[in-house]
């Protein structure tokens, strides 16, 4: 169903969703529209529910949920390709279909529909050009700007929070690529962004690797289990990506160049932060919970235990190049799903008396408690 020969524009992506809707595990629905009026769609993947009415809140209480929300920067084309391939695996591969018994999956293949269509149209004319116009939304600003506002200027800005509120997912993924401007800016003679811990220096976003998982974590005493679980997830990600054909060799070449031209000259601003042999684009320190944060994890860590992104050079990938970058992204998709599948997700039930009746509350701890942690009984509660 999902081809990896050319970039996937919005009409093709939504045609794939339409074909996938024939599977009993799939529910496809419109989640909004773009500034220029393009419809934006998503789909849920889960075992069929035998009921006239059902609740996402109940489903995500009984087992974890993961959201794959792709193509925010729409000239970074591979994320749509690999999240749709992930969905295809979950529907057609018996081993992966069984994972839907343990995890709810939401696939949102295109966040920036206006940019995706523009970048696709431009690459048919100039396939090797830098197509930065497709990176942003129709007004030249990122489509996730003001995403938590009640009435953002981009109607599509509110789609991710809308999905998040509906499902309250454990993990929210935002896969990216990195476009040509990351290379061109090194030689453009304009000032770099302030990207370092030392405010008096400036740091170009020099390529730290060919395939780079971004990784932030929570370091907050109010949420003591988060950091250990997030580092466990990071180990799973690095294990999986090293299995992607070509990724290790391309990463090693990029590491060598990064060390030679960046780290060896300025170790204060350029770091070599490896996990299992993979260089991670990691936060300098862990974050604290912040109800005003733009990120799902730090805004509501009691709900979403991790959100993350990944990067690979994919402007504008096609043919074997697309297969290379999309396969690396697919390994990341698989790794995060597998982390949730392996988790010790136990539902806790609490029974209390009140007036002339009883109340039953159900909760699933996030992140999951260690298997050896003593579970309180109803009497102890």
List CB contacts of 257: < 8 A, sequence separation 6 or more: 207
Q: Is 81 helix (H, G, I), strand (E, B) or coil?
A: helix
Identify whether the C-beta of residue 130 lies closer than 8 Å to the C-beta of residue 33.
no
Give pLDDT, residue 47: 96
- pTM of the predicted model as reported, rounded to 2 decimal places: 0.93
List CB contacts of 318: < 8 A, sequence separation 6 or more: 5, 6, 7, 127
Give pLDDT, residue 194: 47
d(CA 75, CA 315): 6
The 10 Å Cβ neighbour count of residue 273 is: 13
CATH topology of domain 10-343: Aminopeptidase (3.40.630)
Give pLDDT, residue 200: 53
Residue numbers in the chain where pLDDT is lower than 70: 185-206, 373-381
Q: For the chain, what are the domain ranges?
A: 10-343, 347-381
d(CA 362, CA 364): 7
Burial class of residue 291, CB neighbours in 10 A (0-12, 13-18, 19+): exposed
Give pLDDT, residue 193: 53
- DSSP classification of residue 368: P
d(CA 36, CA 156): 10
Q: How far from 238 is each of 65, 247, 259, CA to CA, in Å? A: 21, 11, 20
**Pairing outcome for strands 306-308 and 39-45:** unpaired
**Pairing outcome for strands 306-308 and 310-311:** unpaired
């Amino acid at each position: 169903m999902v081809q990896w020969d050319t970039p996937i524009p919005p009409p093709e992506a939504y045609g794939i969703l339409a074909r996938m809707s024939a599977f009993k595990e799939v529910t496809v629905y419109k989640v909004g529209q773009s500034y220029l009026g393009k419809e934006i769609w998503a789909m849920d993947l889960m075992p069929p529910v035998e009921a006239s009415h059902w609740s996402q809140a109940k489903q995500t209480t009984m087992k974890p949920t993961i959201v794959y929300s792709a193509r925010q920067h729409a000239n970074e084309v591979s994320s749509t390709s690999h999240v749709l391939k992930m969905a295809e695996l979950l529907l057609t591969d018996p081993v992966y279909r069984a994972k839907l018994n343990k995890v709810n999956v939401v696939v949102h293949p295109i966040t920036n529909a206006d940019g995706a269509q523009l970048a696709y149209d431009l690459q048919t004319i100039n396939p090797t050009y830098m197509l930065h116009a497709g990176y942003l939304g129709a007004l030249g600003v990122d489509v996730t700007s003001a995403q938590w506002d009640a009435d953002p200027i981009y109607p599509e800005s509110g789609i991710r929070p809308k999905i998040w509120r509906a499902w309250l997912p454990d993990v929210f993924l935002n896969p990216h690529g990195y476009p040509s401007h990351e290379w061109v800016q090194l030689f453009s003679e304009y000032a770099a962004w302030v990207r370092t811990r030392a405010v008096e220096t400036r740091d170009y976003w020099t390529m730290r690797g060919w395939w780079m998982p971004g990784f932030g974590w929570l370091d907050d005493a109010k949420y003591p289990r988060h950091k250990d679980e997030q580092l466990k997830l990071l180990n799973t990600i690095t294990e999986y990506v090293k299995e992607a054909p070509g990724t290790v060799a391309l990463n090693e070449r990029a590491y060598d160049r990064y060390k030679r031209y960046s780290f060896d000259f300025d170790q204060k601003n350029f770091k070599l932060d490896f996990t299992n042999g993979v260089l991670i684009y990691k936060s300098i320190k862990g974050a604290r919970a912040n109800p005003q944060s733009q990120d799902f994890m730090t805004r509501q860590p009691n709900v979403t235990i991790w959100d993350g992104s990944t990067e690979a050079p994919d402007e504008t990938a096609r043919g074997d190049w697309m297969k290379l970058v999309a396969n690396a992204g697919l390994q990341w998709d698989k790794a995060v799903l597998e982390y949730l599948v392996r988790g010790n997700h136990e539902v806790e039930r609490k029974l209390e008396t009140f007036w002339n009746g009883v109340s039953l509350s159900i909760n699933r701890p996030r992140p999951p408690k260690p298997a050896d942690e003593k579970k309180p009984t109803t009497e102890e509660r």
